[in-house]
Structure 1
Amino acid sequence: MPVRTAHPGVYIEELPSSVRTIGAVTTSVTAFVGHTRRGPLNQPVRITSFADFERRFGGLTARSAVGHAVHQFFGNGGSAAVIVRVAASGSGEEAEVTLESTEDGSARPVLRVTAREAGVWGSGLRVFVDHDTRRPDETFNLRITDANGEARESYTGLSMHPGHGRYVETVVNEGSELVRVRVTGEGRPDPSGTVSKPFGAELPDPAVELTVKIGKTERSFTLYDPAVDGPAPVTVTELALLLERKLRALPDAPGKRAFARAEATAFGDRIQVVAGSADPRDTVRFLGECANDLGLEGSVNPPVFPLTGGADGDPPGPRDLIGSEDLKTGLHALRDADDVNLLSLPELAAYESTEDMVTVISAAVALCEERRIFLLVDAPASWTSVDRARAGLAAFDPVRSDYAALYFPQVRLTDPLTGRLRAFPPSGAVAGVTARTDGERGVWKAAAGTEARLAGVRSLTVRITDRESGLLNPLGVNCLRTFPVLGPLVWGARTLEGADGLDSDWKYVPVRRLALHIEESLHRGLQWVVFEPNSEQLWQQIRLDASSFLHTLFRQGAFKGRTPREAYYVKCDADTTTEQDIAQGVVNVVVGFAPVRPAEFVVVKIQQIAGQFEI
């Protein structure tokens, strides 16, 4: 705001900088699309480690190559990935359990708890309910545990009334990553375990012999012994603590801890007793007249309510993997993901039909061209020799694109699930090497050569010689090779359009990826231009911003040329934007750059010197 002068003197005014910095976008965030054990269907989820993948998507499974590809990605230097879980249409079931209420004497369903995602994993969830709240006659607590009884999520003070501030559907459905709930009737769900009858103003005599049965194990004990237990309990809480201590002192069945971890909790004028077990069969039952006199012969429920019926979805077919653009399913779920630079579809390598594989690749390439993503294609598992690769390569002619690169052969690693060597599609490891190279050298450096080591790879399914590499490289196939001392390496940097016969400007992977990096950075960095006055002042600002960004890349070694003039140019003036363009609201910016291309062939000429020479 201009300074308003009121008195003679010196005024200070801060002026905003006219330079708007164009930041470099990410280059190596890799999307993996395919089958996983769990996770939200057709939703892109960003992860930053394999531990994240295990927590959100269930880890490795023998039914899918996606988990192994993600594992290899992070093992080779990857730092961020986007996972899209896809399953066959109509397959997969969410585990669920319906909680009942017997508050009015008759059992009726009141709350359905369903795993948030389809899969067998949901059948390992357990629900624990208690009424130990500030209002034990109105509200309840809900705890979600795993199959071992370890707490995963806990929600307190819940209500079944929609107008309540802690309405169960609102609180759980908005906060839980494990389950969703739906109210199906009136009344609160019954608490877990055994709940006593209400105690009066005075507690009954606790010096009695009690018999308790947990599961199939029955034990008897003295609840209160003045010589051992000190003063007698005078409150419900003291009685619950005494009962819990006595239960935990009883011997367990072999291999179980149902008694050792038993819990007795007081809420209001009642006691809730549960076995220290996540086994629904371990119900707590107090037997005999003494138990009835103490009010412990109440309702009997399992210690936890297990979710059941979860089923994994079948691996997706070609149509499922492609998905729907309108519904944003399958590959098209990536339309909701930002900062995706590489795409891996490791399940394609196992397809028996090359036609199905090419169909999916065609859809993936179209998406990549629209979203500025680069596709890493795995060679089919059926290519078990160089001859088979050469014979099968013709099937990929319809999808030869400079937005994709093909890698052959598959890699052999130790399968963490079995401990044995097994072949895997290489795209996950290649993506990790690419991410590592981007971080160490830059996107303009080919992720190939002696620095492109494949960590964790024991061997390759096909050992390729120099001669065989010379047959595949001119066809646009990037070979993985094993060298003495160095081990398995990525030994190719061509796009699928990089065959010698196609003579493409986008022959090399780093050139295409550098162009994508520049395009995406300028696309985001020039958003401020929209709706600005289309004048020479704007054009000058665009030239300044874009040139500043490109000059940074030039100083890092992204372009060839000794001077900036030789390396890049930015043109935005009256020659690029005519009066007609201005009338139509268009400003044209022309950017050119001279990329550095990889030294694919190194020729060393050696000559013998004949005769003497002087120094």
Structure 2
Amino acid sequence: MPMSSVSAAKPTYPGVYVEELPSSTRTISTLTTSVTAFVGHTRRGPLNEPVRVTSFAEFERRFGGLGARSAVGYAVHQFFGNGGTVAVVVRVTKAGSGKAACVTLKSTEGHSDSDVLEVHAKEPGVWGNGLRVAVDHDTSCPDDTFNLRVHDARGAARESFTGLSMDPASGRHAPTVVNAGSRLIRVEAVGEGRPDPSGTVSKPFGHRLPDLAVDLTVKIGDVAREFTLYDPDSDGEAPCSVAELALLLERKLRALPDAPGKHAFAGTEVTVLGRRLQVVAGSTDPEDVVRFVGECANDLGLEASVNPPVFPLAGGEDGAAPGPRDLIGSEAAKTGIQALRQVADVNLLALPELAAYERTEDAVTVVSTAQRLCEERRIFLLVDAPATWVGVDTARAGIAAFDAVRGNHAGLYFPHLQLTDPLTGRLRAFPPCGAVAGVIARTDAERGVWKAPAGTEARLAGVHSLTVDLTDRETGLLNPLGVNCLRTFPLTGPTVWGARTLEGTDALDGEWKYVPVRRLALHVEESLRRGLQWVVFEPNDENLWQQIRLAASSYLHTLFRQGAFKGGTPREAYFVKCDSDTTTDEDIANGIVNVLVGIAPVRPAEFVIVKIQQTSGQFEL
């Protein structure tokens, strides 16, 4: 921290004045290296919207978990199971497919019967058919406002919105409040008036209650029971208010025997709505409607409005799996993989559905577009071998289809994995991208982005076996073609045994041959790009160049000390040049400052050759 012996304030006594000044040194922070984006079909979730999740439990809440038709769900599960920590999921479906579940709530207030509020599931899919909504008027203004609760199929309350109004001028306007705060539903006002409450609602009682010593018959669903509403001999003093009547009626209904396995009577709730009563069965089965029958019930006005205990949403349909065009998406509309342009931190991209495409050409088309996006956004693409590669011969014959997309921002992995499907308990083949992404994340955390995510430490957790058991000779045929092989070894089990980019064939022999070298460069580029944002609009002179050199060198030296570069000294490991040689007078006139950075990455020891020499003679200890 710089210190100054000259105070900004006027000295008032002889002595030494010390003032703390803010540091002028700019630092460049290390960014994430293994945030993985998964794009494709999921059971639920917002369409074409990137959502960050940090555990599979969170993925289950937001996207519905595993699904037989969702390769993304299994890939995310394998990602977290192998050490992944942060994923970005983009749900994509076939264009025009899928439908959100819906229910229309009615109003009978004012002697009318009209639709007033449409409730839709937030996203398309059959998952919405399990949602239930309940309405009551138990608010501070029971004649004008209402409450809306959302339940799941098991009856558990998920969300609650209170004091809603149908008046657009109100600060509690139902569509505004619900649509902004709900993850499950959205609502749309389609008429005037507020929705009727759930359950059975009575007429308003007068200030003097009628004779309550009557026998009533109540039916919930198909079960009918008889009871005496008020018995002076056993119930004590008669109720004097609507609230006391509600307590009495609730106690009587809960005492009635239920059908086997049911909780409709035992969980009955009676709520006071101003001068009225609302009776709701203790069940979220829409068939459990409470009905009071007979002349005595009519006299008490217990059936002014009869509705189910909850209003079920229906009509939801899952979207079909996305095709190549759906995955590619639109850059203008930010759909498909183009939705990732909205996300700042994505380091890896997985498209697990490509492996199942019948036509390899379709998969290659998507890979081509994905690679262009990866080059622009500094992302590394994990490509799964097609499911049709069932052996070494089919892999060698099929790899030619990828010649058109042999870039250094992608790596191809073969073969597929055999895991126990949690949904069925049986072994099933899965594309490896999710598990490989998890291994990369684990390797980055333990060793660094410059360590090849392969070798004995790159064990594939939870994998039973591989669809193709490769030998050393077979690996030797595929490795020079830029195929990263997955192998099974006696001590380590299924393991990643390759770290080449798609450009990393022996024939091409490019400088970006290895995955860790390419990913380290991407990491350095993005860190410097963000860490030097402060340079914009600063005076373009030697003082600025010196600050740039200091900030960039400090960042690179930190990586050097961690083992990211080869060389015994910083001079051998990296350099930063920013001066009048890199930035000419013409550049200065055009507002340009040029920074030249060089790094010496550590290439992985892909081939370890052990030479053994036989000697004779005596050994001295």
Equivalent position to 1:199, from 205, 217, 223: 205
* 1:466 alignment partner in structure 2: 472
What secondary structure, in the 3-state scheme, does the structure 2 residue paired with 1:104 have?
helix
* 2:3 alignment partner in structure 1: none
What secondary structure, in the 3-state scheme, does the structure 2 residue paired with 1:335 have?
helix
Q: CA RMSD in A?
A: 1.2
Unaligned runs of 5+ in 2: 1-5
1: CA distance between counterparts of 2:620 and 2:225? 105
Equivalent position to 1:498, from 487, 498, 504: 504
What secondary structure, in the 3-state scheme, does the structure 1 residue paired with 2:127 have?
helix
Equivalent position to 1:550, from 543, 553, 556: 556
Identity %, equivalent residues: 75
* 1:34 alignment partner in structure 2: 40
2: CA distance between counterparts of 1:408 and 1:317? 23
Which residues of 2 match residues 202-281 of structure 1 at below 5 A?
Answer: 202-281=208-287
The Cα of 1:245 is off from its aligned counterpart by 1.8
The Cα of 1:2 is off from its aligned counterpart by 7.7
2: CA distance between counterparts of 1:322 and 1:580? 41
1: CA distance between counterparts of 2:400 and 2:461? 31
The Cα of 1:601 is off from its aligned counterpart by 0.9
Kept in 1: contact 2:55–2:86 (CA 8 A): yes
1:153 equivalenced with 2:166 (yes/no): no
1:349 equivalenced with 2:355 (yes/no): yes
Which residues of 2 match residues 325-474 of structure 1 at below 5 A?
Answer: 325-474=331-480
Q: Deviations over 1:430-471 (max 9, x none)?
A: 000000000000000011111111010000000000000011
Question: What letter corresponds to residue 522 of structure 2 in structure 1?
Answer: L
Q: Deviations over 1:380-436 (max 9, x none)?
A: 000000110001000000011110000000000000111100000000000000000
The Cα of 1:565 is off from its aligned counterpart by 0.5
Question: What letter corresponds to residue 108 of structure 1 in structure 2?
Answer: S
The Cα of 1:49 is off from its aligned counterpart by 0.3
Kept in 1: contact 2:201–2:277 (CA 8 A): yes
What secondary structure, in the 3-state scheme, does the structure 2 residue paired with 1:239 have?
helix
2: CA distance between counterparts of 1:250 and 1:446? 69
1: CA distance between counterparts of 2:35 and 2:238? 65
2: CA distance between counterparts of 1:115 and 1:297? 30
The Cα of 1:294 is off from its aligned counterpart by 2.3
Equivalent position to 1:561, from 567, 578, 587: 567
Which residues of 2 match residues 167-182 of structure 1 at below 5 A?
Answer: 167-182=173-188
* 2:612 alignment partner in structure 1: 606
Q: How many residues end up aligned between the 2 structures?
A: 615
Equivalent position to 1:310, from 293, 316, 325: 316
Kept in 2: contact 1:250–1:260 (CA 8 A): yes
1:63 equivalenced with 2:51 (yes/no): no
Kept in 1: contact 2:574–2:598 (CA 8 A): yes
Q: Deviations over 1:239-282 (max 9, x none)?
A: 11221122122122223221122111112111000111212121
Question: What letter corresponds to residue 425 of structure 1 in structure 2?
Answer: P
What secondary structure, in the 3-state scheme, does the structure 2 residue paired with 1:501 have?
coil
1:129 equivalenced with 2:135 (yes/no): yes
Kept in 2: contact 1:493–1:509 (CA 8 A): yes
Q: Deviations over 1:535-569 (max 9, x none)?
A: 00000000000000000000000000000010000
2: CA distance between counterparts of 1:388 and 1:451? 29
1: CA distance between counterparts of 2:232 and 2:609? 96
1: CA distance between counterparts of 2:482 and 2:174? 58
2: CA distance between counterparts of 1:370 and 1:297? 66
The Cα of 1:6 is off from its aligned counterpart by 6.3
Which residues of 2 match residues 66-81 of structure 1 at below 5 A?
Answer: 66-81=72-87
Kept in 1: contact 2:84–2:438 (CA 8 A): yes
* 2:19 alignment partner in structure 1: 13
TM-score, length basis structure 2:
0.97
Kept in 1: contact 2:7–2:18 (CA 8 A): no
1:291 equivalenced with 2:297 (yes/no): yes
2: CA distance between counterparts of 1:250 and 1:148? 23
2: CA distance between counterparts of 1:87 and 1:281? 34
* 1:479 alignment partner in structure 2: 485
2: CA distance between counterparts of 1:148 and 1:243? 26
What secondary structure, in the 3-state scheme, does the structure 2 residue paired with 1:500 have?
coil
TM-score, length basis structure 1:
0.98
1:596 equivalenced with 2:618 (yes/no): no
What secondary structure, in the 3-state scheme, does the structure 2 residue paired with 1:434 have?
helix
2: CA distance between counterparts of 1:199 and 1:51? 49
2: CA distance between counterparts of 1:83 and 1:443? 22
The Cα of 1:234 is off from its aligned counterpart by 1.8
Equivalent position to 1:535, from 534, 537, 541: 541
Kept in 1: contact 2:82–2:435 (CA 8 A): yes
1: CA distance between counterparts of 2:236 and 2:489? 78
What secondary structure, in the 3-state scheme, does the structure 2 residue paired with 1:129 have?
strand
Q: Deviations over 1:291-332 (max 9, x none)?
A: 122221221111111111111100000000000011110010
2: CA distance between counterparts of 1:459 and 1:237? 66
Which residues of 2 match residues 571-586 of structure 1 at below 5 A?
Answer: 571-586=577-592
Equivalent position to 2:126, from 120, 124, 138: 120
1:111 equivalenced with 2:117 (yes/no): yes
Question: What letter corresponds to residue 17 of structure 1 in structure 2?
Answer: S
Bigger drift between 248-257 and 32-41 goes to 248-257
Question: What letter corresponds to residue 181 of structure 1 in structure 2?
Answer: V
Bigger drift between 2-11 and 602-611 goes to 2-11
The Cα of 1:11 is off from its aligned counterpart by 4.3
What secondary structure, in the 3-state scheme, does the structure 1 residue paired with 2:245 have?
helix
Kept in 2: contact 1:30–1:80 (CA 8 A): yes
Q: Deviations over 1:449-497 (max 9, x none)?
A: 1111101000000000000001101111000000002110000000001
The Cα of 1:570 is off from its aligned counterpart by 0.4
1: CA distance between counterparts of 2:193 and 2:136? 14
Q: Deviations over 1:174-194 (max 9, x none)?
A: 111111111111111101110
1: CA distance between counterparts of 2:526 and 2:235? 74
Q: Deviations over 1:59-84 (max 9, x none)?
A: 11111210000000000000000000
* 2:170 alignment partner in structure 1: 164
The Cα of 1:57 is off from its aligned counterpart by 0.5
Question: What letter corresponds to residue 399 of structure 2 in structure 1?
Answer: L
Kept in 2: contact 1:3–1:11 (CA 8 A): no
2: CA distance between counterparts of 1:166 and 1:13? 54
2: CA distance between counterparts of 1:226 and 1:509? 85
The Cα of 1:379 is off from its aligned counterpart by 0.2
